[in-house]
Structure 1
Amino acid sequence: MKLSRIELLVVEEDEDRFAGFLAQRVSWGWEVDYPESGRVRFVIYCETEDQTKATGRDSDPAQEFPRGVASELLRDVRREWPGVVCSESTYEDQDWSESWKEFFIPVRVEDTFLVLPPWLKSEGEASGLIPLLIEPKMAFGTGHHATTALCLKAIAMLWREEAVSGNTGFLDLGTGSGILALACAKLGMTGLALDIDPVAVANALENMALNDVSQGVAIRKGGLEILDPDRRFGLILANILAGPLVHMAPTLARRLESGAGMVLSGILREQAERVENAYRDQGLATPRRLTEGEWVALIWA
């Protein structure tokens, strides 16, 4: 399969902000490397527009790469990030699933979780940690990005502090690969994972099956609007973006049980105070913060 390969060269101090920009447009992920001092290279793959026209197919959630988005992405980058060096080329994909194996490194989270792909399952079994097997596909959430890692750290921390337990019912909003719901399920919790992206829903279901988590977690396509009006949760997880988190503050606050916990991520340092204020306006206390680089997770418990 021929793919469009987009390279974006960014100054190092803009790395996290640019990653946040991409996260709103590129749900299937990207590669990052550091070709020279002071520069970061983002590499994104998608199916070529010529191939889209030739096949005459509509978007298919089962495809590994979305079609016909390269020109739109490049247009947005050039408009909003004029200093970014952009280039596009054609890449002949021989076996993309095999290429993941060359660079997928297991992620250790505190002394609790180990995130790894299914072909490294034996390493997880021997680690003494709770293995989270994730099939790396288009859906966001392999544990490598700081926003996901911060959420996993927060879940582990709340578990150690006994702020959550096997009796806690959770909501994972914007579940992506299902990694956060999976972590909660492995700790004995039950709950609901939501995502508006059918690709994410399919990937989350696949990852639950990989981990033999067949009960206790319901995965649904949709957002808060599909919930029963009176349903409340003992733990809410939302690794999204600052803007939507601010907008949803009144609704999310109403979904918390008395004494419940909440973890919000996808927030840059300069956005954290704005998100905090939105939830304080709903009567919540000042949250704790976990930070990694330019990213922040806010934790109520």
Structure 2
Amino acid sequence: MKLSRIELLVAEEDEDRFAGFLAQRVSWGWEVDLSESGRVRFVIHFEPAGQAGTLAHDPDQEFTGNLADELLREVQREWPDVIWSESTYEDKDWSESWKEFFSPVRVDETFLVLPPWLKSEGETSGLIPLIIEPKMAFGTGHHATTALCLKAVAMLWREGAVSGDTGFLDLGTGSGILALSCAKLGMSGLALDIDPVAVANALENMALNEIFQGVTIRKGGLEILDPDRRFGLILANILAGPLVHMAPTLARRLESGASMVLSGILGEQAERVETAYRDQGLPAPRRLTDGEWVALIWT
């Protein structure tokens, strides 16, 4: 299959901010290295033009045109100094490509994220294995936003803030990795995503981990929930803008004494997100940080 390949050359001093820009729009990742010009090279691959998909910055709207062109328009508008080029790339089998560089992710001495071909390592690690088939859905544990959420789940479990009796909501489930971590700790709940590719991948990953009950995965967002349904744990690894917008709704979905973890938030955005939820009567959250990224945790 031929993929569209976009190469973006960014000034070294802008690397972190540009990575944050991409993380809010490209859920499936990119390659990065130094170019001969001394700039930082970002390389992103897209499936064939015309295939439906979702750019992560607009979770309420599906874009059914050329996602590569859509991203380039945003780059040209917001980053006019970035040098870019576009080409095609003959893709190898997706899973075979991932095998070349996918490494296990150890999370807080609790979880070990592994692809299926390294499953045996999880059986001997002494950690809880999370087997994830790397595909186009977001969430392999390598990105800081996902790792922060997994660390938060492990922390809440150790502290007794959540237990096997806790019902959870994983909003924007992607690969299903956060719902899977909860299920492996004995919790049951609901995982939602607006992207059908993510829903399919999450279902596949549940089966890989032999989770056949206790977790429901559905396409959609908060609007499909029963009006009175509440949760003991809410996980939302999305983006700062939508998290602020959803503050009144998410706060109403919390059971008394519930916990909540919000991620996908850049450090400069954390205060705005926190304020939106404190305006709903929630206390100040704890923060976990990883580089430019922050997760907010309420217990």
Query: Who is 1:205 aligned against?
Result: 203
Q: Which residue of 2 is the match for residue 294 of structure 1? A: 292
Aligned counterpart, 2:248: 250
Contact 1:272 1:296 in 2 (8 A): yes
Shift of 1:39: 4.2
Is the counterpart of residue 159 in structure 1 residue 157 in structure 2?
Answer: yes
- Please list, as runs of the form range in 1=range in 2, the aligned pairs for 1:92-241 lying within 5 A after superposition: 92-241=90-239
- CA–CA separation in structure 2 for the residues paired with 1:36 and 1:260: 51
Structure 1 unaligned runs (5+)? 53-57
Residue 40 of structure 1 corresponds to 40
TM superposition score normalised by structure 1: 0.91
Shift of 1:194: 0.4
Is contact 2:9–2:35 with CA below 8 Å preserved after alignment? no
Give, as a single letter, the amino acid of the residue that structure 2 aligns with 1:211: N
Could you say if the C-alpha distance between residues 36 and 287 of structure 1 is closer, same or farther in structure 2, counting changes exceeding 3 Å?
Answer: farther
Provide closer, same or farther for how the CA distance between residues 72 and 202 of structure 1 changes in structure 2, counting only shifts above 3 A. same
Distance 2:52 2:248 in 1: 34
**Could you tell me how far apart the structure 2 residues matched to 1:133 and 1:23 are?**
23
C-alpha distance in 2, partners of 1:227/1:120?
36
For the structure 1 residues 124 and 67, does the alpha-carbon distance in structure 2 shift closer, same or farther, using more than 3 Å as the test? farther
Q: Quick check: 1:31–1:44 contact (8 Å CA) kept in 2?
A: yes
Task: Select 1:273's aligned residue among 268, 271, 274.
Answer: 271
1:33 shift after superposition: 2.9
Q: Deviations over 1:243-287 (max 9, x none)?
A: 000010000000001110000000001100001100000000000
Corresponding letter in the other structure for 1:105: S
Superimposed CA distance per residue, residues 181-208 of structure 1 (whole angstroms, 9 cap, x where no aligned partner): 0000000000000001111000000000
User: Please, which of 57, 65, 68 is the counterpart of residue 66 of structure 2?
Assistant: 68
Unaligned runs of 5+ in 2: 55-63
| Cα displacement (A) at 1:82 | 1.1
Task: Indicate whether 1:26 and 2:26 are aligned.
Answer: yes
TM-score scaled to structure 2, two decimals?
Answer: 0.92
In the alignment, is residue 17 of structure 1 matched against residue 17 of structure 2? yes
CA positional deviation for 1:80: 1.0
- Secondary structure of the residue aligned to 1:103 is coil
Aligned residue type for 2:18: F
* Percent identical: 85
- State whether residues 171 and 236 of structure 1, in contact with CA within 8 Å, keep that contact through their aligned partners in structure 2: yes
Aligned to 1:199, the other structure's residue is in SS state helix
Q: Secondary structure at 1:201's aligned position in 2?
A: helix
Instruction: Compute the displacement of 1:75 (Å).
Output: 1.9
Cα 1:156–1:39 change in 2 (3 A) is farther
Q: Which amino acid aligns with 1:8?
A: L
Q: Does the 8 Å CA contact 1:192/1:219 hold for their aligned counterparts?
A: yes
Kindly state the Cα deviation for residue 13 of structure 1 after the two structures are TM-superposed. 4.1
Shift of 1:20: 3.3
Q: CA separation of 1:48/1:256 partners in 2, compared to 1, >3 Å: closer, same or farther? A: closer
Q: In structure 2, the residue corresponding to 1:203 is in which secondary structure?
A: helix
Partner Cα separation in structure 1 for residue 38 and residue 290 of structure 2: 19
Residue 175 (structure 1) shift: 0.4
Structural RMSD (CA): 1.9
Deviation at 1:72, TM superposition (A): 2.3
Report how many aligned residue pairs link the two structures. 290
Distance 1:114 1:78 in 2: 39
